[in-house]
Amino acid sequence: MSHVDVLRVLGGDGRELRLTGHVGFDSLPDQLVNKCVNKGFDFNILCIGETGCGKSTLIDSLFKTTFNDQEVMHKLPEVSLNQETYQLKESNVNLRLTVVSTAGYGDQINKENSCNAIIQYIDQQFANFLEEELKIKRDLRSFHDTRIHACIYFVSPTGHSIKSLDLVCMKELDKRVNIIPVIAKADTVSRAELSQFKARIIEELQSNGIGIYQFPTDDDTVSDLNTKMNEQVPFAVVGSRDEVVVNGHKVRARQYPWGTVEVENEAHCDFVKLREMVLRTNMEDLREKTHTQHYERFRSERLVQMGFADMGADNEPVSLQETYEAKRVEHIREMQSKEERMRQMFVQKVKDKEAELKSSEQKLHNEFERLRRQNAEEKRQLDDKKRQLEEEEISLFNKKKAAVQAQRAQTEREQLAKKQGRR
Ligand code: GTP
Ligand code: MG
């Protein structure tokens, strides 16, 4: 390496100076690499596809391992997402891989809300990152970044055209993630049908204005390869967990009575292209685009929603301090008015309750009065009845007494007459 290098001094118009010896800042890229390698990398893949379309098998094939993924039932009432994180190591590079897969996608009769859970999940990961970023004591170095870097969208191998559910969902997703469409289980579609199917998918995506991830062509070292690969999307992939010995080598393959489909054979399917593009050539671009495009869009929209703006109403730049102060004042005012509203509501509720209690007290009082009057009336009636009965009984008694007395006088008279007659 030559020691005669050029130093650009920043400030003013930037003068260029010649170095007279080795200084050492040419090791800066190495320092950066070492730092990144020590820290490790997060890479997050979202697999969207109908139940049983081969999502887990493809991920296992991509990373040449077996992740413990459970099969999903077809009877789920709504779409949900399963997230698993794995720690992988290749050479001295640590990768924290998060695989998120849809469960029950396309199984419901009403598919209107199929995409909602996916959108919510993606936005939630952005929101988590933003929350960490806005903390006073933030720790983005150790923060587990779960923002989706690559969304592998599994198109069912119908051989006809892409389903409307896929179009609707991709339309919602293209602003949020890097969509990489693939044709699932491509061994079930013939070669001729496959090229027509690919063309039809691209045509449908274009006519619906759906933007899928384009492998970057601005880096000379990979631009030719990426340009070629962009033309081959959607990749027709085959996955397998079975290993077969072909030409003395163990390879992942699917065996059929009529032959063997090798996953990593480019003449059989596009699996290798997908792996090359996503994991080997463009992994950093996927991570970068997620941060600089998709997250940036989310961040700016969320900050605007939160009341932040770069420019004021008079088209003058607004400082963060001013925005914060205005927001704080607005927040305090809002809280005060909320408090006042709640206080008034409370007072009104107390008044209503008091009136309610008063009215029920009045009702009780009236009822008591009514019962008291009714009781007095009943008592008076009873007294009358008693008196009447007593009078009737006395007169009856007197009558009976008079009759008995008359009877007795009659008997005495008759006895006296008898006595006189005997004499
Ligand atoms: P869920 O997670 O339950 O929704 O399923 P999945 O999408 O993860 O599918 P999985 O990988 O479990 O595969 C389902 C079935 O499809 C298994 O029997 C696989 O062997 C088979 N399969 C997976 N990939 C392919 C493929 O490329 N071609 C064919 N023909 N079958 C495949
Ligand atoms: Mg699965």
- Angle ∠(399,404,406) on CA atoms, nearest 5: 95
Give me the pLDDT at residue 111, please.
73
Phi first, then psi, for residue 228 (nearest 5°) are -65, -40
State how far the alpha carbon of 360 is from the alpha carbons of 352, 355, 356, 357, 366, in Å. 12, 9, 6, 5, 10
- Find out whether the beta carbon of 52 lies less than 6 Å from any atom of ligand 1: yes
Closest protein CA for atom 10 of ligand 1: 54
Please report where in the chains the tokens 């009403």 appear, as a residue: 110
Alpha helices in 283-319 (DSSP H): 283-289, 296-305
Which ligand has the minimum distance to the alpha carbon of residue 255? 1
Give me the pLDDT at residue 320, please.
72
In 3D space, the residue among 261, 221, 220 whose CA is nearest the CA of residue 239 turns out to be 261
**Model pTM score:** 0.75
Mutate to test the pocket of ligand 1, among 46, 53, 57 (most ligand atoms within 8 A of CB): 57
Q: Identify how many contiguous H helices and E strands the chain contains and give both numbers.
A: 10, 11
Q: Would you list the DSSP string of 135-181? A: SSS--TTTS-----SEEEEEE---SS---HHHHHHHHHHTTTS-EEE
Q: Are the CB atoms for 138 and 132 separated by under 8 Å? A: yes
In 3D space, the residue among 340, 205, 219 whose CA is nearest the CA of residue 284 turns out to be 219
Q: pLDDT band for position 1 (50/70/90)?
A: very low
Q: Using the 8-state DSSP alphabet, how is residue 33 labeled?
A: H
- Find out whether the beta carbon of 62 lies less than 6 Å from any atom of ligand 1: no
Question: Range with the lowest mean pLDDT among 6-10, 219-223, 248-252?
Answer: 6-10
% of the chain surpassing 70 pLDDT = 97
- The sign of the dihedral angle between the CA atoms of 294, 83, 269, 191 is negative
* C-alpha 269 – ligand 1 centre gap (Å): 16
- Find out whether the beta carbon of 274 lies less than 6 Å from any atom of ligand 1: no
- Find out whether the beta carbon of 238 lies less than 6 Å from any atom of ligand 1: yes
* Residue 200, both tokens: 């039809």
Spatial separation of the C-alpha atoms in residues 144 and 127, rounded to whole Å: 13
Give me the pLDDT at residue 5, please.
52
State how far the alpha carbon of 200 is from the alpha carbons of 153, 160, 197, 234, 241, in Å. 16, 8, 5, 10, 30
Ligand 1 atom nearest the C-alpha of 103 is 4
* C-alpha 213 – ligand 2 centre gap (Å): 23
Task: Please report how the helices 116-134 and 164-173 are oriented relative to each other, as an axis angle in degrees rounded to 10.
Answer: 10
Ligand 1 atom nearest the C-alpha of 154 is 7
* C-alpha 172 – ligand 1 centre gap (Å): 26
* C-alpha 128 – ligand 1 centre gap (Å): 32
Higher pLDDT, 85 or 111: 85
pLDDT at residue 9 greater than cutoff 80: no
Spatial separation of the C-alpha atoms in residues 342 and 142, rounded to whole Å: 42
Q: pLDDT band for position 3 (50/70/90)?
A: very low
Ligand 1 atom nearest the C-alpha of 188 is 30
Q: Is 55 exposed, middle or buried (0-12, 13-18, 19+ CB in 10 A)?
A: buried
Q: Name residues whose C-beta falls within 8 Å of residue 99's C-beta, 6 or more positions apart in sequence.
A: 44, 45, 47, 59, 67, 69, 83, 84, 85, 86
- Find out whether the beta carbon of 187 lies less than 6 Å from any atom of ligand 1: yes
Phi first, then psi, for residue 378 (nearest 5°) are -65, -40
User: What single letter denotes the amino acid at residue 388?
Assistant: Q
Give me the pLDDT at residue 6, please.
53
Higher pLDDT, 327 or 252: 252
pLDDT at residue 313 greater than cutoff 90: no
Question: Range with the lowest mean pLDDT among 10-14, 160-164, 287-291, 319-323?
Answer: 10-14
Q: Are the CB atoms for 281 and 222 separated by under 8 Å? A: yes
- Find out whether the beta carbon of 57 lies less than 6 Å from any atom of ligand 1: yes
pLDDT tens figures, 242-251: 888 888 888 9
Classify 316 as helix, strand or coil.
coil
pLDDT at residue 11 greater than cutoff 70: no
Q: Using the 8-state DSSP alphabet, how is residue 311 labeled?
A: B
Spatial separation of the C-alpha atoms in residues 65 and 99, rounded to whole Å: 13
- Find out whether the beta carbon of 82 lies less than 6 Å from any atom of ligand 1: no
pLDDT tens figures, 122-171: 999 999 999 999 888 888 888 999 999 999 999 999 888 888 889 999 99
Which ligand has the minimum distance to the alpha carbon of residue 239? 1
% of the chain surpassing 90 pLDDT = 63
- Find out whether the beta carbon of 185 lies less than 6 Å from any atom of ligand 1: yes
Strand 150-155 and strand 41-48: pairing?
Answer: parallel
